Amino acid sequence: MPIKVGIPSALLFYDYYPLWITFFEELGADVIVSKNTNKEIVDMGIKNTVDEACLPVKVFHGHVLDLKNKVDLIFIPRITSVSKYEYICPKFCGLPEMIKYSIKDLPEIIDTNIDFRKSKKNLNRTVMEIGGYITKDVKKIKNAFEIAMKEYSRYKDLIKKGFLPIDTLKKDIYSKGDFFRGKAKVLLLGHPYNIYDPHISMDLVQKLRKHNLTVVTCESFCEEAMNEKAATLDKKMFWSFGRKILGTVLSAIKNDEICGIIYLSSFGCGLDSVIGDIAERRIRRDSNKPFTLLTIDEHTGEAGVDTRIEAFVDMIKWRDEHENNLSPHRKFIHSN
């Protein structure tokens, strides 16, 4: 019987899932992904995490609990850094410990340290270490990683085309070609695990699409332009998320197609308190694009968020209708 590997579908899952799933499947393991986030998972997570942690981390605990009795191995890598001289977040560095000491009777954890802060030299060793949990066959691991990387780059191409991870997760992504229906583009900022998890974000992406808006995120922006813009910051942004978001903001400010910016932040997120503030200051100073910050946590009511989204969309649409035809002759600009 093949080994069952569990992958919690939370946190960086949305960035890397084709890579992770294909890799373990190619190694001959049986991959079990936790259920989509639901009320039960959130509640379980909240009960088992320290009170001060942010919502995504609590949800992650819930996903691990969902997998607990179903699998032989759980994949919770310690993702310290994926880019040179940058970090992800302190909580990611301590995630395996947080899980280990908060949840009892867990199956074995794959807690390999993924750290490319100094260089990517140890990539090979990292891959071998992770693969080593399944098989000792070095060739097989190498092969599996190659196939997984191919799958991953296919996925990245799709993202570049403007699909979002939630679209690619559906089997027939091309059948519903109405993602790019609206002319007006809204930039949705925030951590991928907040934006792309429909339960956490309260289906924000679909809600915006229903208003005939195209949703773009950091992932669909040109990376070179993003890096170039991020390099103009006063001090190097040492969080990968931060560099991505601020780079996107700086290039979006100059982009006329984007008619509104929404920042989705989770309550208590240390990174967002800095990044969100810098983003807001830049947007207000250098552009006249509408900006709103939505903060979510486990207590957030959906109705309040809906109202704010609707108000935001109205603002964009009214601008489109009235802003450009200001009368110089002191006539009413509204029809009634």
Partner 1 sequence: MKITFPHMGNTYIALKVIFEELGAEVVIPPKCNKNTLELGTLYSPELMCIPFKITVGNYLESIEKGADTMFMWGGCDVCRIGYYNTLQKDILQSLGYEIQMFCLEPMKNINDVKNFLKKLSFVSGSKNYIKVLPIFIKGLRTLYEIDELDDLVIKIRPRELNRGAVDRLYSSFKEDVNNANGYKSIVETIRRYKEKLLKIEIDKDKEVLRVGIVGEIYTVVEPFINQYLIERLGNMGVEVHRSVTSSEFIKEQLDFIPFLKSDKEEVHRGAKPYLNTEIGGHARHTVGNTVLYSEKNYDGVIHLMPFTCMPEIVAGSILSIVEKDKDIPILKLVLDEMTGESGYLTRIEAFIDLLLNRRESKFYERDISWS
Binding residues for partner 1 (CB under 8 A): 49-50, 52-53, 78, 80, 87, 89-91, 93-94, 97-98, 101-102, 113, 233-235, 237-238, 265, 267-274, 276-278, 281, 285, 295
Least Å from the CB of residue 275 to partner 1: 9
Q: Which CB sits closer to partner 1, 87 or 221?
A: 87
* Residue 244, C-beta contacts closer than 8 angstroms, at least 6 positions apart: 218, 226, 230
Render 268-327 in DSSP notation, one character per residue. Answer: T-HHHHHHHHHHHHHHHHH----EEEEEE-TT--HHHHHHHHHHHHHHHHHHHHHGGG--
Q: Which CB sits closer to partner 1, 293 or 315?
A: 293
Least Å from the CB of residue 28 to partner 1: 31
| DSSP state letter for 78 | E
Least Å from the CB of residue 57 to partner 1: 8
Least Å from the CB of residue 68 to partner 1: 17
Least Å from the CB of residue 139 to partner 1: 31
What is the phi/psi pair of residue 36, to 5°? -60, 150
Q: Which CB sits closer to partner 1, 207 or 243?
A: 243
Q: Which CB sits closer to partner 1, 171 or 299?
A: 299
| Residue 216, SS3 per DSSP | strand
Q: Which CB sits closer to partner 1, 268 or 290?
A: 268
Say how far apart CA 229 and CA 251 lie, in whole Å: 7
